């Protein structure tokens, strides 16, 4: 059985640790708060150890890292250098150069480097991706994703950096390519330089387009991915409470025989998808890649591709805020 040490028992890290324990992979917990580490270890039936102990322990195959983003690069690099496989929460690093170094190090050492783009492991998204790959939707024309809510406001990162990586990852997975151009706009209403509402637009080599809208200044929660193809339109709405309503397909037809296009609407079709917890599937995938030697679905290359888009959007957003005079 694969042996995993988990690093970082905070808000999200505790969920990763719980799933690793339930799957039987968890061996140890690391956290700078010694009391938290001991309490977590006791609750999960494992050891509380130091980071140095993890790196030196040959019985530990891999680490899952949910530390603050500023620590991702250093911890992932140290673990890979020590011969450990690494599952690191998004973002894989804070700049492209660091992400490239991690990608290269993983390939040089023959170790798994997996990035925590959770929605790539959601059964609904995977079914949607399979439909796109099989041609059920037809050639992609446009994809857009809304990730909106009221709060939680951040003081160190803008909403695009905080929310958009998941959506960018899903869009790149559906299109199967990186964009040729990225633009972005936003509004910083409450904190200078920190956008609380932002949109990013992407153009792809095959002519398809996409955009992401992210906001923590929205009256209600919405998590919706819309895929528009030549044959059909599909909606993955994770904020729907009923599982069977999370993936709908609309086989609308646009009649272009007349002077203007005329839509003929069709009823929504539910898509049957077996229910599973995305985080548990993500944790399982990491261990299976260690055991089989397979490349993770969200490996270092995929994490780097997402970071490139995010970096381009970030720079475009900063320029837009500066030029528009709404960065106040």
**Tens of pLDDT along 209-246?**
999 999 999 999 999 999 999 999 999 999 999 999 99
What does the pLDDT look like over 171-214, one tens digit per residue?
999 999 999 999 999 998 888 888 999 999 999 999 999 999 99
Using alpha carbons, list the distances in angstroms from residue 295 to 80, 258, 273, 279: 15, 50, 25, 18
Domains of the chain: 4-111 (3.40.50.720), 120-278+309-324 (3.30.360.10)
Name the helix (H) or strand (E) containing 105: helix 96-109
Q: What are 303-324's pLDDT values in tens digits?
A: 999 999 999 999 999 888 777 6
pTM above 0.85, yes or no: yes
Buried b (16+ CB within 10 A) or exposed e, 210-220: bbbbbbbbbee
Largest Cα–Cα separation, the chain: 72
- Is residue 44 within 8 A of residue 21, CB to CB? The reply is yes
Contact 249, 269 (CB under 8 A): yes
The closest alpha carbon to 161, from 226, 104, 93, belongs to 93
Q: List 146's β-bridge partners, or say none.
A: 213, 224
């Amino acid at each position: 059985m694969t042996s995993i040490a988990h690093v970082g028992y905070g808000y999200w890290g505790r969920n990763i640790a719980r799933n690793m324990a339930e799957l039987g992979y968890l061996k140890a917990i690391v956290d700078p708060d010694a009391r938290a580490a001991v309490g977590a270890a006791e609750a999960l039936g494992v050891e509380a150890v130091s980071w140095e102990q993890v790196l030196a322990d040959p019985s530990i195959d891999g680490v899952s890292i949910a530390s603050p983003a500023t620590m991702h690069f250093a911890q992932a690099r140290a673990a890979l250098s020590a011969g450990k496989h690494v599952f690191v929460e998004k973002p894989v690093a804070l700049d492209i150069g660091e992400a490239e170094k991690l990608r290269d190090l993983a390939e040089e050492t023959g170790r798994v480097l997996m990035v925590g783009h959770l929605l790539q492991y959601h059964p609904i998204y995977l079914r949607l991706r399979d439909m796109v790959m099989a041609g059920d939707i037809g050639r992609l024309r446009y994809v857009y994703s809304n990730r909106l809510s009221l709060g939680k406001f951040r003081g160190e990162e803008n909403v695009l950096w905080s929310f958009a990586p998941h959506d960018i990852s899903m869009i790149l997975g559906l299109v199967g390519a990186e964009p040729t151009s990225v633009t972005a706009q936003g509004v910083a209403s409450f904190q200078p330089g920190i956008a609380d509402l932002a949109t990013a637009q992407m153009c792809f080599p095959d002519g398809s387009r996409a955009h992401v809208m992210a906001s923590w200044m929205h009256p209600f929660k919405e998590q919706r991915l819309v895929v528009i193809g030549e044959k059909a339109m599909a909606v993955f709405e994770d904020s729907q409470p009923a599982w069977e309503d999370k993936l709908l397909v609309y086989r609308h037809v646009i009649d272009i025989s007349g002077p203007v296009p005329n839509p003929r609407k069709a009823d929504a079709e539910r898509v049957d998808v077996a229910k599973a917890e995305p985080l548990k599937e993500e944790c399982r995938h990491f261990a299976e890649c260690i055991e089989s030697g397979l490349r993770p679905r969200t490996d270092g290359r995929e994490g780097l591709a997402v970071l490139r888009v995010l970096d381009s959007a970030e720079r475009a957003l900063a320029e837009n805020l500066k030029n528009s005079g709404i960065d106040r």
